[in-house]
Amino acid sequence: MLSWLKPNRALAGVAILCVLGSFIVACHAQEAPATYPVRGVVLNSFTRRPIARVLVDGQSDAVLTDNDGRFEINLTASMANIAVRRPGYNPTGATFAHPVKVGPNTPELTFYLTPEANITVHVTLSGGDAADGIRFMAYRKRIFGGRGMWMAQGNYTTDSDGNLRMMNLEAPASYILCSTPTEDSMTAAGSGKTTYGYPPVCYPGVTDLSTASPLTVSPGQQLEAEITIARQPFYPVSILVPNRPQGQPAGISISDQTWRGIGFPARFNAQQGLAEVNLPNGRYYAESRSNNGKTSAYGRIDFQVTGGPVVGLSMALHPLSPIAVEIHKDLTSANDRAHTGIVVGSAMAGANPGINISLIPVDSLTANMGGHNLQHPAGSTDDSYFEMADVLPGRYWVQTNAFQGYVSSISSGGADLAREPLAVGPGGAAAPIEISLSDNGGRIDAAINPSSLGNSASSADEGVSSIVFGYAIPQFPSTAQIAMAAAQTTYHLMFGNLAPGTYRVVAFDKPQEIDMDDPQAMARINSQSQTVTVEPGAAATVQVDVIQTAQNGGEGQTQ
């Protein structure tokens, strides 16, 4: 019907708009938006060689790069996101997508991809058993509050040939690989009899994560390694839990001394009130938690298995008392005084502490940090007094994030928590934490040197919208997180709400993890940063160069 209204094929690329009246058809031709060629090349960030058959996708047009890594697509004038992907490669920037300003003068572009790294580990069992189905946990070093900790990266299992493959890894990076224990007879465990099996070990064959050898890979590297696990006796361990909650089993978990759970839950003998587990030689601790909906209790006992059964252990559960937190607010700004926003996971609804707190275990090599809720004591609504519940015994570095002013001081029992860890004793006992918040802080205005953006096509004035990541690192003891700012299409970074003092300001082309406990990493930061002093209530200015990690195969970490 009305087939005579179909547009002529000669009008391809022209939009036909037709308005139908009673008997009259009026058609108006509208030209399609003009398109412009976007040309460039995709290079290997590690070798700087061109990469063929990379998908360059501008959404409305896409193409694969040729053998010389070159491409050309046609896009309308706009700020387009161009995605660059190829199997076996990872992005060198923050994402696969690159914001590009398309127009009649779009310059030639250079994009970088980093070849993925792989690790293959061949596992041998000394008892001659087939090494298939052996489970491992991989850890990678991450930075929390300027401190490095090993975070679980993923689970891997050996195949029928005893090979474990870790594919598509970020690089350069270091990984620690630890097995989980396997016992010959799980049914015999808890019977008081010695069993046999393969203990939890970390590469290259040590039982303690702190003495493990990291497997370090570079971009594109195919690393191979060998590990042998020796068959050992698993000795019975029994732990009495004298004050377990009535009618409840005592759930007990076993970890080694680096806080790494070994994946062997203890079995609870309700008749005898004993937790029973079989373990190979080594140093461990057992812990148990209970919560009746009103109060929490916790127990821990450290022990060592040395060539025989372990008996006579007793682990009492102690109620966890909340830690008092007193917050003094010296706030002169009307905005700060009126601020009632709550950070989810940091403060209970209705409370306004003006700050959230994270605790980082001092003695743990693995990531076990977390935020703790601040809530008013029962019956109180005073915004100066709060409680932090369910903090386990141990020593913790305190990290703060103030959203009302900044932390001018923080202490517990006379200990300056910007310099010393928070000590928490049995039952969560700790001296009250006293925090002072002030709002006479200053700011840093950092100008980015355009010439430091590297590739000329990375300039916002020439087409590519660069994303720059800046960091202001305090040169004085502080519990505050390292201040971070990002800039896109501008040459300016702003760090606000800073405590007065001296900072080092540094900028990168991709996000960084800055390990302030690593002397070599900090030496590199110091050599590439600019020093600036922030005065109370004032703005400090500085100019910084952008460090190009993406074009030299860097992984975005200062480790």
Does 273 have pLDDT greater than 70?
yes
Q: Are the CB atoms for 386 and 374 separated by under 8 Å?
A: yes
Calpha distance 118→381 (Å, rounded)? 55
Beta bridge partners, 493, equal 446
Q: Which residue has the higher pLDDT, 220 or 338?
A: 220
Does 449 have pLDDT greater than 60?
yes
Q: Which amino acid, 154?
A: G
Q: Domains in the chain and their CATH numbers?
A: 35-106 (2.60.40.1120), 117-232 (2.60.40.1120), 236-318 (2.60.40.1120), 323-438 (no CATH), 442-547 (2.60.40.1120)
Average confidence score pLDDT of the chain:
82
Q: Which amino acid, 51?
A: I
pTM over 0.85? The answer is no
For 226-238, the pLDDT digits (tens) are 999 999 999 999 9
Does 426 have pLDDT greater than 70?
yes
Beta bridge partners, 301, equal 286
Question: For residue 9, what pLDDT is reported?
Answer: 37
Q: Are the CB atoms for 41 and 68 separated by under 8 Å?
A: yes
Q: Are the CB atoms for 412 and 422 separated by under 8 Å?
A: yes
Question: For residue 127, what pLDDT is reported?
Answer: 75
CB atoms within 10 A of CB 378: 7
Q: Which of 26-35, 381-390, 471-480, 510-519 has the lowest mean pLDDT?
A: 26-35
Q: Which residue has the higher pLDDT, 468 or 307?
A: 307
For 171-195, the pLDDT digits (tens) are 788 999 999 888 876 555 556 789 9
pLDDT band at 349 (very low <50, low <70, confident <90, very high): very low
